[in-house]
Amino acid sequence: MILEKTFVDSITYRPGAVILYPGKSDMLYRVQSGLVRIHTMDDDGNGLTLRYVKPGEFFGEESLAGLERTYFAEAVTDSTVDVMNPALLSAEDNLEVTTHLVRILSRAYESIYRLVGKRLKSRIAAELLELSETALATRQPSGELMIYATHDELAAAVGSVRETVTKVVGELAREGVIGAGYGKITLKNTEALKEIASQ
Amino acid sequence: MILEKTFVDSITYRPGAVILYPGKSDMLYRVQSGLVRIHTMDDDGNGLTLRYVKPGEFFGEESLAGLERTYFAEAVTDSTVDVMNPALLSAEDNLEVTTHLVRILSRAYESIYRLVGKRLKSRIAAELLELSETALATRQPSGELMIYATHDELAAAVGSVRETVTKVVGELAREGVIGAGYGKITLKNTEALKEIASQ
């Protein structure tokens, strides 16, 4: 449990608001509610999602090492973010942050593994499963999970382009694994999706 | 400076020796001398290098979070490794480990960025520059740096296959940027290599 004195502020952002730009900061950030996207941009301005930060998770970890931040942090849904002073973290807090760092490092390596070894279809399936555990997913009356994500957003997350993602999403929809609508995707067969993600 | 009592053991490995297999461990490891390669393997047994660990750097960080290790650690050159008990790390030590984690996370994100956005030629150039700062590089009497690395090893590091790497290495050699021999590469024009890496 992080001590009260460590908290500097708590700020709520609207969807699409940029929380952090590349640069330097002395603060550490934790998502209280909502969903934050950490992304970078190539020379042509194409976004590349590095990770999603869910409630209870941290971002801005480079402040712990005095390093420069090379990414953007953006609110995906309405998001409340705690601003913390890393110098005031207790030993216990630090362990929490370290555990988090180990987890996101392991996720980053998984992304590398998938980018190199997996087909785009597997990468999209894995991404949909990951998004299904975030604030972008809502349970439908039918019991199915619906994910709010455009093909552009999926492309940024799996390192591809919209046109190709649209083709693969169509393929998954024809196979009955997902239902695809404008800006949203319904998971119809989670087991099949897991199978595809592992291929 | 890490306290004496934290050290459990110090072990020297020969080139090619596997230090850690995927699995669980309670220990944290630090390279004292040499070079350690962290890699994973796809279903077909192809290696994928996740990072190189240089003297002073850590691996086995998943023990800090009680997580399972999904990678192999292998000695590249003669390497001495300190085995440490993470439970006995001081607050100061923990900060050192945290700083290291932030750095390797940032490197992992850079790899993702390169895998998605950069041409293979840029990735190979960046990899050669990174290797030039490890124990795999030796300064020649001519003043040039020579790197001991096979095309297979380069392919594993940049997420490609040997045949394609051989083609690109040949191209870089024809351009006079590097000199290529069996299992070794000489950096002839570091500035040009940096320029290619950034493209």
Better-predicted residue by pLDDT, A168 or B47: A168
Burial of B152 (0-12, 13-18, 19+ CB in 10 A): middle
Which of A29, A105, A164 to mutate to probe the B interface, most B CBs <10 Å?
A105
Tell me the pLDDT band of A1, cut-offs 50, 70 and 90.
Answer: low
Q: Where are the domains of chain B?
A: 4-115, 119-198
Average pLDDT over residues A52-77: 90
Chain B interface with A: residues with Cβ < 8 Å: 40, 42-43, 46, 48, 50, 61-62, 64-67, 70-71, 91, 94-95, 97-99, 101-106, 108-113, 115-117, 159
pLDDT confidence of residue B13 = 96
CB atoms A115 and B112 under 8 Å: yes
Test A108 with B105 for CB contact under 8 angstroms: yes
Q: Which residues of B touch A99 (CB under 8 A)?
A: 64-66
> CATH classification of B4-115 is 2.60.120.260, yes or no?
no
Q: What is the pLDDT of residue B28?
A: 93
Buried b (16+ CB within 10 A) or exposed e, A46-73: ebbbbbbbeeebbbbbbbbbeeebebbb
Grade residue A5 by pLDDT with cuts at 50, 70 and 90.
Answer: low
Q: Tell me what the mean pLDDT of segment A52-78 comes to.
A: 90
Instruction: Please tell me the predicted confidence (pLDDT) of residue A34.
Output: 93
pLDDT score for B182: 85
Q: What is the pLDDT of residue B1?
A: 53
Q: Is the pLDDT of residue A154 over 60?
A: yes
Contact A194, A129 (CB under 8 A): yes
Stronger pLDDT, A29 or B5, i.e. the higher one? A29
Each residue's pLDDT tens digit, B21-39? 999 888 999 999 999 999 9
Contact B113 A40 (CB under 8 A): yes
Give the closest-approach CA distance of A159 to chain B in angstroms.
Answer: 5
CB–CB contact A159 B70 (8 Å): no
The reported pLDDT for the residue numbered B45 is 67
* A68 DSSP assignment: P
What is the length of chain B? Answer: 199
Fold classified for B119-198? Arc Repressor Mutant, subunit A (1.10.10)
3-class DSSP state of A181: strand
Q: What is the CATH number of domain A119-197?
A: 1.10.10.10
Low-confidence stretches of chain B (pLDDT < 70) are 1-5, 42-46
Q: Which of B150, B129, B130 is nearest to B192 (CA)?
A: B129
